[in-house]
Each structure stands twice: as structure tokens, then as C-alpha cells.
Amino acid sequence: MKYTGWPDPGDLVVGKVDEITDFGVFVDLEEYEDRRGLVHVSEVASGWIKNIRDHVTPGELVVCKVLDVNESSQQIDLSIKDVNEHQRSDKVQEWKNEQKADKWMTLAFGEEMTDEQYIAVANELLAEFGSLYDGFEQAAIHGAEALSDTGLDDDEVSAIVETARENVSVPYVNITGYVHLRSASSDGVDDVKAALEAAEGNGEVPEEVELSVSYVGAPEYRITVRAPSYKVAESALEASADRARATIEGRGGSAVFHRERQTEDE
């Protein structure tokens, strides 16, 4: 997808070096339809430039900062030197992600998708998530629920979720906690077993979360959570421990939850 409008001053843009002259570099903007900018020689690199071609080559992909935009004269002034390496790396990755998302749009809606439909769907994702890629990523993690606040219809939501879950590599985090379960009753083994089953979820674990409970050494049990973010993982871990505690305390036992493994002496 290429934008039909204009970038704003201060924006970072991805471009390809098209023409090099003694006074500057003309750059075709990869994210915008039929937009071209000029990097004046003084904005190519810091310090004195003896030969501008020592710093850029035709066809090179560059990240530039937009200095000024004059729509009436169709002029965009750019700077390469004002972009640090961290900004460059992040912007290139963002651009590559949007290229992936552009392909996913075609996979979701087919080659016959009209420009009007593409723009309508893209605008909904951009308004809600800021980028097409983030929209697909959230759809892969949370399913249709992630798109509930958009204006997309049910068929569009289903197409995006299905495509996202087949193509998006979701980043995951892993965290671990430990719970000590004790019961002094004659049915203590059953009490602990019920608490462990509760910890595992009883169908209450969110779809995007993987949760498992394993034996460490009586009375200690390990709860391991794999989730798409630390916030989601921490919430799932806490809920798991709370379920175990409520179950065993309801049977007259006790539960103690902690993040790090503890010994009996502790």
C-alpha cells in the first residue's frame, strides 16, 4: 500500500536513491504514490562532503527525515544525516512489516479485491492500530475480539483473522511461578489434585495463552505461562494461582504463591 497524500515535516520516510547531482540527491519515496524528495548536499552527511557519491549510490535504500513540504511546488526537502542508526533500523523494519501486511491483505481478500475495498479495510486497521501489520498481529493473538471496535463486517473480520493466524509470527514471552499447596485432611491428595486442576484453567485460560502445571516436589508445583506479552502472561499466572488458592482453601487447606522457587527452609 502506498499513501496518496504527503508526509509531514518531522516524519521518517523510506526512499530509494534515484538521481545524484552535485547539489543533492533525489529520492523516490517508497511509501507514497508518485512522491519524490530532495536531500540537499548539506543534509547527506555531517561535515564537509568532498564527493557526494562517496556517501550514497543509485538504487540505495535510505531513511530520511522530512524537513519541509511544499505541496504547491511539489517539493519535499529531506535529510539523511538527521537520522541515527537506531531510527533507521526501526523505520526499515516498520516498512518491511507493512509490505508483509500488504501481501496479507491480498491473501485475505484475493486478487480481485478492489482498490475501494482495500482502502476501506486498511483505513479501519490504521485508525484502530496505527498500522496494517499491528492490526494483523493483534488479530493473530486475540482473534475477532481484537477487531470488535473497527467498522469491519463479519466476513472481513473472519478473513483477516484466518489469514493472520496462518501467516503472522507472534512474539511470545514465558514466565514461571510456584505454588505451595497443603491440606491436612484425610482427603488431602484429592484436595491438592482439585487445586491443580483449577490452576490449569477449567476452560478459563484465554485462547492466546499456553499454561501448564507441573510437579516440583511436595508441596511445591510449578506454573508455566506462555503468552504474547508480559501483561497477558502475568495476568494469566496470577489468575491460575488464585484459582488454586480458592479451591484448596475452600477444602480447608492452604496455598502460598511466589515467583521464585523456594526451599522448605524458606
Per-residue pLDDT tens digits for 34-68: 999 999 999 999 988 889 999 999 999 999 999 99
The pLDDT of residue 205: 83
The pLDDT of residue 264: 46
The pLDDT of residue 241: 93
Residues 154 and 132 in one domain: yes
The pLDDT of residue 59: 95
The pLDDT of residue 202: 74
The pLDDT of residue 207: 81
List pLDDT tens digits, range 3-16. 788 999 999 999 99
- Cis ω before 228 (30° cut-off from 0): no
CATH (domain of 194) = 3.30.70.1130
Is 117 contained in some domain? yes
Lowest mean pLDDT among 63-72, 74-83, 187-196: 187-196
Residues 96 and 121 in one domain: yes
Beta-bridged to residue 222, according to DSSP, are 178, 214
The pLDDT of residue 261: 57
CATH (domain of 29) = 2.40.50.140
Q: Rounded to whole angstroms, how far apart are CA atoms 169 and 174? A: 16
Residues 196 and 214 in one domain: yes
Q: Which domain holds residue 22?
A: 12-82
Is 77 contained in some domain? yes
Q: Which of residues 167, 189, 205 is at a domain's end?
A: 167
List pLDDT tens digits, range 131-182. 999 999 999 888 898 999 999 999 999 999 999 989 988 778 889 999 999 9
Total number of domains constituting the chain: 3
Q: Are the C-beta atoms of 40 and 27 separated by less than 8 Å?
A: no
Within 10 angstroms of residue 230's Cβ, the number of other Cβ atoms is 10
H or E segment to which residue 12 belongs? strand 12-20
Is 212 contained in some domain? yes
What would the mean pLDDT of 80-100 be, rounded to a whole number?
95
What would the mean pLDDT of 235-258 be, rounded to a whole number?
92
Q: Residue 266: which pLDDT band, with cuts at 50, 70 and 90?
A: very low
Is 7 contained in some domain? no
What would the mean pLDDT of 104-108 be, rounded to a whole number?
96
At residue 50, φ and ψ (nearest 5 deg) are -80, -45
The pLDDT of residue 206: 81
DSSP result, 139-194: HHHHGGGGGTTS---HHHHHHHHHHHHHH-----EEEEEEEEEE--STTHHHHHHH
Q: How much helix, strand and coil, in percent to the nearest 5, is found in the chain?
A: 40, 25, 35
Q: Which of residues 59, 82, 105 is at a domain's end?
A: 82
Mean pLDDT of the chain: 91
List pLDDT tens digits, range 201-245. 877 788 889 999 998 987 899 999 999 888 888 999 999 999 999
Is 266 contained in some domain? no
